[in-house]
């Protein structure tokens, strides 16, 4: 999924556990300029650095995945959580931001196979 918008807030990286960190930011999404939406995204682990070259007010394009989780508390009550996990940020003008995560914007190796290496059985 992808949206374009203006960065409204950038938060510091949070160390959630010893092995997990996340960083949140808010984008003003104005598909209808009369009623802008304020959408909070998160970056996780090594992707937290993707936000470093950007500032409040920058126009960006955000590629993200919609994630959902189910959690049951000690009393048996089930709760559901949604998150928007960003995985690529680009200047809205179409120029890629300086990539601080090696391979973040590269084609996956399995797609980069040369011709004649088709291993499909049909």
Q: Residue 27 above 80 pLDDT?
A: yes
Domain count, the chain: 1
The answer to the question of residue 92 being in a domain is yes
The answer to the question of residue 60 being in a domain is yes
pLDDT, residue 92, reads 85
Dihedral of alpha carbons 107, 94, 99, 17, sign = negative
Q: How confident is the model at residue 102 (pLDDT cuts 50, 70, 90)?
A: low
CA distance 11 to 42: 10
> Phi and psi for 73 in degrees, rounded to 5?
-80, 180
pLDDT, residue 47, reads 94
CA distance 5 to 28: 5
The answer to the question of residue 108 being in a domain is no
The answer to the question of residue 122 being in a domain is no
The answer to the question of residue 69 being in a domain is yes
Q: Where are the beta strands (DSSP E) in the chain?
A: 2-10, 14-17, 20-29, 37-44, 59-72, 78-91
88: tokens are 């690529």
The answer to the question of residue 114 being in a domain is no
Query: What is the model's pTM?
Result: 0.70
pLDDT digits (tens, 9 = 90+) for 32-73: 889 999 999 999 999 999 999 999 999 999 999 999 999 999
The answer to the question of residue 20 being in a domain is yes
Q: What is the mean pLDDT of the chain?
A: 84
Q: How confident is the model at residue 93 (pLDDT cuts 50, 70, 90)?
A: confident
In which domain, by residue range, is 78 found?
2-103
Specify the CATH number for the domain of residue 52: 2.40.50.140
Average pLDDT of 27-31?
A: 94
* Closest by Cα among 111, 107, 89, 87 to 98: 89
Residue predicted with more confidence, 59 or 103: 59
Q: What percent of the chain has a predicted confidence (pLDDT) above 70? A: 76
Inter-residue contact 50 to 3 (CB < 8 Å): no
CA distance 74 to 80: 15
CA distance 79 to 68: 11
């Amino acid at each position: 999924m992808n949206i374009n918008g203006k960065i409204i807030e950038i938060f510091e990286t949070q160390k959630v556990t010893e092995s997990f960190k996340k960083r949140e930011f808010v984008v003003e999404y104005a598909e209808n300029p009369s009623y802008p939406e304020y959408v909070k995204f998160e970056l996780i682990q090594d992707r937290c650095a993707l936000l470093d070259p950007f500032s409040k007010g920058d126009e960006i394009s955000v590629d993200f995945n919609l994630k959902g989780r189910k959690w049951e508390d000690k009393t048996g009550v089930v709760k559901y959580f949604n998150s928007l996990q960003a995985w690529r940020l680009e200047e809205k003008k179409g120029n890629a931001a300086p990539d601080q995560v090696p391979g973040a914007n590269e084609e996956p190796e399995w797609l980069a196979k040369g011709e004649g290496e088709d291993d499909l059985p049909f």
